[in-house]
Amino acid sequence: MTVVTVKQITKTYGTQDVLYDISFSLTAGNCIALIGPNGAGKTTMLRILTGLIKPTTGECQYHSTTNDIRPLIGYLPQHPVYHHWMTGEEFLIYCAKLTGIPTQEAQKRAASLLKTVGIQSAKKKHIHTYSGGMKQRLGIAQAIIHQPQLLVLDEPVSALDPIGRREVLDLLETLKQEVTILFSTHILSDADEVSDDVILLHHGKVVEAGSMTPLRKKYLTTKIELTFDGKLAFYEQQLLQLETISDCKIVRNTIHVTVSDIVLAREEILSKTIRDDWTLTSFVINRTSLEDMFMKAVNT
């Protein structure tokens, strides 16, 4: 089921097109990463999706029986603002009541979400004492306290230290079982870790969108990474003599091999390893990363 369909969105400020002819759809139950470098238009797109700003042209169609999209969306901006004199529990109850949830139900949902996001032990502590990761988890809790269909997060881990980043990514992995998630990021490894679908944005345009599996096949990198005991220059020269290998490059302690046919190259390399008694210590067929995919897509 589709949660929202974006149709030919353009956003112009003065004479500058920030977004140009953007179209995509979000499928219920998925975690979707909106990927692009800083300045690609990610935040503008999220603000249009959440109704905070209007597009110059185009529309976002939410597949719902209500015209008010606010109950359908939970939103956490890149730089959330809190009432720091409140406790985490007070803040969640306050946010719930702002959406029209009665006090008793607000208290119940706040208690449940504090446990879900892993900060139950800090519920009575003032928010100004929270770490960056704790504040982000509290922000995610407030964004879903009214049980929306779509959770929208703008750069949720970009300002966090490694511990806070890990906490939030683990939380997203859990939450995507319950709510559709759209999050923007310029950190490709984070998107690679938790997303089911991706939307690649570059200079205000969608250069690729869809499920990770077919996109990986489309942009498959035909490379093998090899490590040996001994002088890598020797093995590099020997590998270049094989028919299926078009290029070799030594990067640190690894030989990166570009091949014409991944299956035949694997057989040829392993056969020569056994025949010539090479000291092969590692053989890895390179998995297409989001970075590989993005660089190929924008250079197509």
What CATH number is given to the structural domain containing 42? 3.40.50.300
Tens of pLDDT along 106-139?
Answer: 999 999 999 999 999 999 999 999 999 999 999 9
Q: Report if residue 170 sits inside a domain.
A: yes
Q: What pLDDT does residue 300 have?
A: 64
Q: Report if residue 217 sits inside a domain.
A: no
Same domain for 57 and 199, yes or no, is yes
Same domain for 25 and 116, yes or no, is yes
Structure tokens at 141: 């809790």
Q: Which of 212, 237, 258 is the last residue of a domain?
A: 212
What CATH number is given to the structural domain containing 237? 3.30.70
Same domain for 123 and 261, yes or no, is no
Handedness of CA 236, 242, 248, 251 (dihedral sign): negative
pLDDT at 217 over 80: no
Q: Report if residue 294 sits inside a domain.
A: yes
**What is the value of pTM for the model shown?**
0.81
Same domain for 208 and 233, yes or no, is no
How far apart are alpha carbons 111 and 105 in whole angstroms? 10
Give the position of tokens 């929306």: 148
pLDDT at 145 over 80: yes
Same domain for 189 and 294, yes or no, is no
> How much is the mean pLDDT over the chain?
91
In 3D space, the residue among 240, 245, 202, 197 whose CA is nearest the CA of residue 224 turns out to be 245
Question: What are the φ and ψ backbone dihedral angles of 2, each rounded to 5 degrees?
Answer: -90, 130
Q: Report if residue 218 sits inside a domain.
A: no
Q: What pLDDT does residue 190 have?
A: 84
Domain that holds residue 60: 2-212
Same domain for 123 and 164, yes or no, is yes
Same domain for 238 and 195, yes or no, is no
